[in-house]
Amino acid sequence: MKKVLVVEDEPSTAHLIAYNLEQVGYRVEIAEDGEQACARVESFGPDLVTLDLLLPLKSGWQVLECIRWHADARVRQVPIIVVSALASQRQQ
């Protein structure tokens, strides 16, 4: 079974993403902040990460660094989908 790590600090959004992924057969874990995400990428061994950029403790950008600079090549190559409201905010 493929595994997805959902990194999202908004519980309703995290659970909605997780629910939909589970409905199509994925095993899902949720990390609520950047520090949890870096730890779970190693312990859970996901096949995919969905990543919010605006997170507490470590930003999504720092999580990206944690993954892409990891000592284990398998961790470095995990696909990441950025799911963030950051792109929808307008500058006025």
Whether the predicted model's global pTM rises above the 0.75 cut: yes
pLDDT tens profile 43-84:
999 999 999 999 999 999 999 999 999 999 999 999 999 998
Place of tokens 């950008």: 61
Domains annotated for the chain, with CATH where assigned, are 3-84 (3.40.50.2300)
Average pLDDT estimate for 24-45 = 96
Rg, the chain, Cα only: 13
Percent of the chain with pLDDT over 90: 88
23: enclosing H helix or E strand = helix 11-23
The whole-chain average pLDDT of the chain stands at: 92
Dist CA 15 CA 10 (whole Å) = 9
88 and 74 Cβ atoms separated by less than 8 Å: no
